[in-house]
Amino acid sequence: MSGSIAWFPDVGIADRPTVGGKGGSLGELTQAGIDVPPGFVVTTHAFEQFLSALEAREPVRSKVEALEQGDMDAITALSRELRARVEEEPMPAELEQAMADAYGELCKAGEPVAVRSSATTEDADDASFAGLQDTFLWVLSAQDMIHRVRECWGSLYSVESITYRLKHGLPEEGVAMGVVVQQMVDARTAGVMFTRSPTSGDKSVITIEGAWGLGSAVVSGEVTPDRWVIGKITGEISVRDISDKHAQQIPAQGGGIEEVELPADKRSAPCLSDDELQALRDVGRKIERHYGKPQDIEWALDKQGQILLLQSRPETVWSAKDTVPVKKPEADPLKHVMTIFGGKR
Amino acid sequence: MADEQKGFPLPSSLKVVPGTEAAQAAYPYYTQFHAGDDQRFWFYNSMHFPEPMHHFDMITAEAAYCALGSFNTRVHVLPTTKGIDHRIINGRVFIGGVPVTDPEEIEARMGEFQQRAFYYYENWEDLYAQWKDKMKALIAEAQALPTPELPELEPIETTHTGKGVASNHALLDIYRKQLEGYFRMWHHHFEFLLLGYGAYLTFFDFCKKAFPEISDQAISRMVAGMEAEIFRPDEELKRLARRAVELGVDEKFHDGMVIEDVLGALDQLGEQGQEWLDELEASRNPWFNVNVGDGFYHYHRSWNDDLSMPFAALPGYIEKIKVGQNIERPTEQLVEEREQLVADYRELLDTEEDKATYDQLIGLAHRVFPYVEGHKFYCEHWYTNLFFNKIREFGALLAENGFWEKEEDVFHLTHYELESAIVDLMLSWSSGTPPIGPQRWPAIVADRQAAIATWTEHSVPPALGAVPDVIEDPAIVMLWGITRESLDAWLSDGEGDENELKGFAACSGVVEGTARVIKSVGEIDRIATGDILVCQVTNPTWSPLFQKISAAVSDIGGSMSHMAIVAREYGLPAVVGTGTATQKIKDGQRIRVDGGRGTVTILEDEPVLEDA
């Protein structure tokens, strides 16, 4: 993968170093036959190409390496300078053209896109700590899209990001990022799905959280989502918490999103039907089986009720815990009944 | 916490309802609360005895606890528990466990238990086959007991055979044999029960630890048997419906039919009708020996005693068969689904150790389960029917001799009193003078009838005495589902939403509809298609109703209860063990049943007016 643009069907998890975790995962899902809105990744090669152009004018990486850890004034000043350069200095023409061409191919009818940073770090948590989780929704033109890509790149030089690298002694050489550009659905309902209980770690249930409108409302925590717990194997719905969803996020005129209040009857109505819950469960199982481990998934339903996958990443909290047997093994099966009859429950 | 201040009333503070003192005193002395009982914890056994007990029916508690305790205390020697004590006040049965707390005693009992109980587990299939033979022999003995009767003069055969025993002696002989058989039946009942539940609960416990959010229903579905006797009566009805169509006599069955007329018409119909009646006979013996309750009350009659319940289901089944619908239970498919479920959960386990344990435990659960599901048909249904019907025969004989008005009145006497009345009649037949009983019993029967009516109006606290910190008694946890958590819930009862009832989530799904509060079999024809059944308890008798209803709610039962099992088969939302659904929900109200959460919500305060 040496080009500046990589389309979803052509990439997988193994391409993480050039397309980042998010891009690799969306490619992987697309290849697995899951419905993912189409898109491409602006690869790390694109970033490197752009950075070379910047470095040719004035150093970037060496300036960061020269910073003292803890010298906040200097870090803040350099961050401001470098972000401005990333966002404003001219870009190699062929690179800009490649991005514009890809956009043109993706959005033949002017479909809106989401632009998201796709960090190359192994652990999604690292990316959060390092401030590498930018998302720009409902982007409506090639020009705007390219600007948002620059903003994502610029976040590599945010104060948090620089501080994180200094603290962990990470070299500037190789600091790069992919940026995902993906067609966006005007979601009727969207949310997240955990194929392992976030509260108990139970692998036999799927927890689904969702709200009306775009998923950003759920991910950002601005709306309390409806919540269901479904037997992964049985499909029985054991928990139905229908919340008061006071608002929803929808596309704004001229790009971006806005929050609007919901009428009373819609606030307290479940945002998914039982059939839709079961369809989501099927998709969740399929993805989990594909990766061979529990997943945290972002999904959306378009206005026609079709399920689309926006992101999937491996569950990390419970998986990191030691797996000790639930019960001490016994050679004689009958010894097990002593847990009931022996009074040591 | 405020809850720590709360407790249940002491037994000594519970008063006999004024006017019922004599009826209360008539229960055996060993069932009356006495001084030492304030120091113990008791709970109202509303699961088995939800209504005030007729004095005769108390024999069920007595015989059951004689047997349950023996097997726990002295046969299998359960390490941490002995038997169950029971007490009666205001017609209600309270029970208290007898935990073993001394570590040395537990240790000693542990050794005994492993020697004894493990022998049962190791030889389960053989011992269970032997059990069925014992039960069938016991049933045959009861069936062979003659109807008690007294001839004017002894038949001449008594003389010619040199029999040497007169007919009045047979009364005592039959009565005592029948009583002996009933007590024996309960011993057989508990021979396997606790061990069976224990093995099942071991698997249950493991699943709850491995999959903290797994539903009880999913676990029971993994264990449920396929050939269980509890499905058989309903399967027989489907067979009869199919035969009716095959024989071309199906138009005789319709809603609101008079059963006598239908049977008469079939009899007149020639060969086809006769063949169907023969099929009916074949099904009735033994499969219509299911009663409409749990077999603990004499008035829970069987299908054989009252054909209205099974016949009510026939038109529905016939209709389905005629439109080509397959109503047979898809056993093979159910087996496949169960095996898939077991395999799918196994795959989720993280370690090889757990997979090995899981295999051991599901294996054991599958071995013991045929008994857990199957024993009730032989014990609580078949034998119990024979037993109460034999007592009815004595009731009729004594009524003929003026002891009381109707045969059912016999159930107002304790089994000791009944023996005395029988001896009274034997003496009178012997001496040729009138019996004394007719002067004594009518007033007592009337008094007790009134007492039962009074007690029905008076509720009792769910428990008495100090709340134990933990309920360690496996018998109480297994059979009654009582835990420290459930006691706390009882203590805080009434603090929640008045329109919401909580129970066990038996089968998931949400349905809104019209509640049909059904208190007896006589009311089943009020159920229209799509109604939600609300009742105290169901058993195999009720299975055919599940084809009509949209959801089910019961006062009594856990996730392994009959209603739960059948609801899962039919895929109907069900909430069981709500405690008070038949009291709080009014007939005709709109309710919402959420079988996944185990809640029932009353949507309207007043019942909808209906055509009378």
pLDDT exceeds 70 at position B496:
no
Residues A111 and A234 in one domain: no
pLDDT exceeds 90 at position A43:
yes
End-of-domain residue from the set A183, A204, A220: A183
CB B597 to CB A240 under 8 A?
yes
Residue at A331 is within a domain = no
Q: Residue A276: which CATH number?
A: 3.30.470.20
pLDDT band per the 50, 70, 90 thresholds, residue A339: confident
Residue at A341 is within a domain = no
Out of B106-115, B407-416, B529-538, least confident range: B529-538
Residues A238 and A279 in one domain: yes
Q: What is the pLDDT of residues B556-570, one digit of tens each?
A: 776 666 777 778 777
pLDDT band per the 50, 70, 90 thresholds, residue B113: very high
Q: Which residues from chain B sit within 8 angstroms of residue A333, using beta carbons?
A: 360-361, 363-364
Q: Are A113 and A39 in contact (CB under 8 A)?
A: yes
Rounded to whole angstroms, the Cα distance separating A54 from A60 reads 7
Residues A151 and A197 in one domain: no
pLDDT exceeds 70 at position A128:
no
Q: Are B390 and B304 in contact (CB under 8 A)?
A: no
Residue at A327 is within a domain = no
Supply the mean pLDDT for chain A: 91
Nearest to A323 among B350, B364, B509 (CB): B350
Q: Which residues from chain B sit within 8 angstroms of residue A334, using beta carbons?
A: 114, 118, 121-122, 364
Q: What is the pLDDT of residue A322?
A: 65
pLDDT exceeds 70 at position A28:
yes
Q: Are B288 and B235 in contact (CB under 8 A)?
A: no
Rounded to whole angstroms, the Cα distance separating B545 from B572 reads 12
Largest CA distance in chain B: 82
Q: Are A309 and A35 in contact (CB under 8 A)?
A: yes
Provide mean pLDDT across the span A44-60: 95
CB A236 to CB B363 under 8 A?
no
Q: Which residues from chain B sit within 8 angstroms of residue A238, using beta carbons?
A: 213, 215, 505, 508, 596-597
Residue at A329 is within a domain = no
Tell me whether 0.85 is exceeded by the ipTM: no
pLDDT exceeds 70 at position A265:
yes
pLDDT exceeds 90 at position B488:
no
DSSP B548: T
pLDDT exceeds 80 at position B482:
no
Element (H, E) at B552: strand B551-554
Residues A179 and A194 in one domain: no
Supply the mean pLDDT for chain B: 89
Q: Are B362 and B219 in contact (CB under 8 A)?
A: no
CA gyration radius, chain B: 26
Q: Residue A92: which CATH number?
A: 3.30.1490.20
How many distinct structural domains can be found in chain A? 2
Give the C-alpha distances (Å, rounded to integers) separating B177 from A55, B127, B145, B190, B387: 105, 25, 8, 20, 10
Residue at A28 is within a domain = yes
Q: What is the pLDDT of residue A129?
A: 60
Residues A247 and A263 in one domain: yes
Residue that has been written with the tokens 């009373």 in this structure: A264
CB B211 to CB A205 under 8 A?
yes
Q: What is the pLDDT of residue B47?
A: 79
Chain A: residue whose CA lies nearest to B196:
A337
Domain that holds residue A140: 5-183
Provide mean pLDDT across the span A51-72: 93
Q: Are B147 and B386 in contact (CB under 8 A)?
A: no
Selection from A243-257, B173-187, B497-511, B597-611 with the highest mean pLDDT = B173-187
The angle that helices B167-210 and B415-431 make with each other, rounded to 10 degrees, is 170
> Which residue did the predictor score with more confidence, B505 or B201?
B201
Q: Which residues from chain A sit within 8 angstroms of residue B357, using beta carbons?
A: 325-327, 329-330, 336
CB A233 to CB B341 under 8 A?
yes
Overall fold of domain B498-602: Glucose Oxidase; domain 1 (3.50.30)
Percent of chain A with pLDDT over 70: 95
Residues A247 and A162 in one domain: no
pLDDT exceeds 50 at position B4:
no
Percent of chain B with pLDDT over 90: 63
Provide mean pLDDT across the span B517-540: 81
Q: What is the pLDDT of residues B289-344, one digit of tens each?
A: 988 777 789 988 899 998 988 898 899 899 999 999 888 878 888 889 899 999 99
Q: Which residues from chain B sit within 8 angstroms of residue A201, using beta carbons?
A: 212
Mapped onto helix, strand or coil, the DSSP state of residue B515 is: strand
Residue at A325 is within a domain = no
Rounded to whole angstroms, the Cα distance separating B414 from B400 reads 20
Window B:118-137, CB contacts with A under 8 Å: 118, 121-122
Listed by start position, the domains of chain B span 1-122+401-421+430-493, 229-325, 498-602
Q: What is the pLDDT of residue B540?
A: 66
Q: Which residues from chain B sit within 8 angstroms of residue A324, using beta carbons?
A: 351
Q: Can you read off the two tokens belonging to residue B206?
A: 């493991």
> Chain B interface, mutation test: which of A200, A337, A344, A345, most B Cβ atoms within 10 Å?
A337
Q: What is the pTM of this model?
A: 0.83
Q: Can you read off the two tokens belonging to residue B148?
A: 């008690």
Q: Can you read off the two tokens belonging to residue A86?
A: 């990333």
**The total number of residues written for chain B in this structure:** 612
Q: What is the pLDDT of residues B36-79, one digit of tens each?
A: 999 999 999 887 888 899 999 999 999 999 999 999 999 999 99
Residue at A324 is within a domain = no
Residue at A335 is within a domain = no
